[in-house]
Amino acid sequence: MDSGQWTVDSGQWMHGKLFHNLLAVHCPLDPKDMPHFQTTRRVEFCETDLAGIVHFANYYRYMEQAEHEFFRSLGLKIHGRFPDGSTYGWPRVAASASFSAPAYYDDEIDVRLTILKRTHRSLTISYEFWRGVVRLATGEMKTAFCHVVSPGKLTSVDMPHEITSVLDAAMARP
């Protein structure tokens, strides 16, 4: 079937570029699978190629932006100072993404963030990107909590209780 033909998917008529929805993963949110945070963003023209499709590298930016919004919503910072005035941060130690369907210029995308694992020194977060009921992509990022010892030198350290207690409370929410 070419993209110029009509088709039906989940009782809705679709045409053209929406044909890819047939191949995308459709699944409503079950309350037990609710993300710890969700944000919405609109695809900007500068994030697309000439076909108006989001360039894959932007999903890594979207993950980081959602992470920052999540931290702000909890009253936390991605880059801050310890009580002694020294600096801490969360450098990325691993990142991955898989793509199911393209996103296009001017699409509104929901980014769903779920904390998968928190250790004393790291945080692993999964991301899902949705346009309506169509899952566009998934991603995962692992960050390490680090003390900035000197410019350009980081040391992984245990997260202080003020951070772990807030993250644990967020993870406990239904």
The two tokens of residue 46 are 């500068």
- Active-site residue, selected from the candidate residues 49, 106, 158, 168: 49
Residue 33: per-residue pLDDT: 61
Active site residue 49: yes
- For 8, 18, 165, the CA distances from 12, given in Å and listed in that order, are 6, 11, 45
Residue 150: per-residue pLDDT: 87
User: Which stretches in the chain have pLDDT values below 50?
Assistant: 1-31
Residue 38: per-residue pLDDT: 94
Residue 151: per-residue pLDDT: 85
| SS3 of residue 109 by DSSP | strand
pTM: 0.79
Domains and CATH numbers, the chain: 29-172 (3.10.129.10)
Residue 152: per-residue pLDDT: 86
First and final C-alpha spacing in the chain: 42
| SS3 of residue 33 by DSSP | helix
Residue 174: per-residue pLDDT: 63
User: Tens digits of per-residue pLDDT, 97-113?
Assistant: 999 999 999 999 999 99
